[in-house]
Structure 1
Amino acid sequence: MNLILFHFLNGLAGHTIIIDKIMIFLAVYSPVVYVLLMIVQWFLCGDKGKKASVEAFFAAVIAMALNLTISKIYFEPRPFVHHKVNLLVNHPADASFPSDHAAFGSALAFAEIMYDKVIGSIMMILTIILLFARVYVGVHYPIDMIGGFFIGYISSKIVKYGSFIFNPIETSVLNMWHKVFSN
């Protein structure tokens, strides 16, 4: 089923230049968009926005650590290694499962949505499009994206329920920020 869905979604690539370019941009540069949203939030949304950005950062770090661990234990080759695909971007033939992009994006989106519904919703929509885009450009199977999405969700929950660990760090970051930039 995973391979069938991959071939269907990736089979849509290479037919419309404009859609291909949009999918390539989202598949490759979405992390930049997430970071830009967090920077805007940091500067425009007060301490609540700063707290949300810090928590989202923690969730993303946890997600990336989990992904690295999983990819060292279980190696799934990228689709283009063993199958004929419409490969729209150059990519190393490293581990495909779980998707770093999906884990990163969903960790940020799930963490953000708890504090800022607007930015969190924008990130969630971007993440859902990203899930499709990475398969569309030929660098991931659908299960890689679902796995990464789930890891991002779990990572955001670790931060939420580990508040006794993360709140003192957040408070220190905010205090340093105010100390340096309050003058």
Structure 2
Amino acid sequence: MLENLNNSLFNFINATPDSAQWTISLAIFIAKDLINIVPLLAVVLWLWGPRDRVCAQRQLIVKIGIALIISLAVSWTMGHLFPHDRPFVDHIGYNFLHHAADDSFPSDHGTVIFTFALAILFWHRLWSGIVMMEIAIT
């Protein structure tokens, strides 16, 4: 039942050869490059800010780093306990982005961006956490 739901949702968002090229390019950008916002924001938070907030921002980055280590360890464990092929490995949908045929669950990018977004949401500022969650959901 869940596998059917998973395949239906994948087919709903999967582009076809008839899709507009700009939508495929946007999807490739989101899949490959949007994750770069995490290290960029970490560096910005570490290096810049009001003088009285720099120490707190650096503590935030350390806490986020610890949270990322824990979440990636849990993700790795889940991936080994519950392996799940990527859709293109099972010949489902179309593939416009070359990717290794490793397991798709859980997603490393998803784990990192959601951990970062939730950390910002709970430990920093509500509005910036909400913006990061919007980016993560994209």
Provide the C-alpha distance between the structure 2 equivalents of 1:14 and 1:25, rounded to a whole number of angstroms: 19
Deviations along 1:28-47, one digit per CA (max 9) or x if unpaired, are 12331111011111112311
Q: Does 1:108 align with 2:112?
A: no
Provide the C-alpha distance between the structure 2 equivalents of 1:43 and 1:113, rounded to a whole number of angstroms: 20
Q: How does 1:1-80 map to 2 (within 5 A)?
A: 1-11=5-15, 15-45=19-49, 46-80=54-88
Contact 1:13 1:20 in 2 (8 A): no
Contact 1:78 1:95 in 2 (8 A): yes
Tell me how large the CA RMSD over aligned residues is: 1.8
More helix by share: 1
Match of 2:89?
Answer: 81
- Runs of at least 5 residues in structure 1 that lack an aligned partner in the other structure: 130-183
Identity of aligned residues (%): 29
Provide the C-alpha distance between the structure 1 equivalents of 2:26 and 2:15, rounded to a whole number of angstroms: 16
Structure 1 counterpart SS, 2:123: coil
Moved over 6 A (4+): none
- Runs of at least 5 residues in structure 2 that lack an aligned partner in the other structure: none
TM-score by length of 1: 0.64
Structure 1 counterpart SS, 2:83: coil
Go from structure 1 to structure 2 and tell me whether the alpha carbon gap of 1:14 and 1:97 turns closer, same or farther (over 3 Å shift).
Answer: farther
Go from structure 1 to structure 2 and tell me whether the alpha carbon gap of 1:115 and 1:44 turns closer, same or farther (over 3 Å shift).
Answer: farther
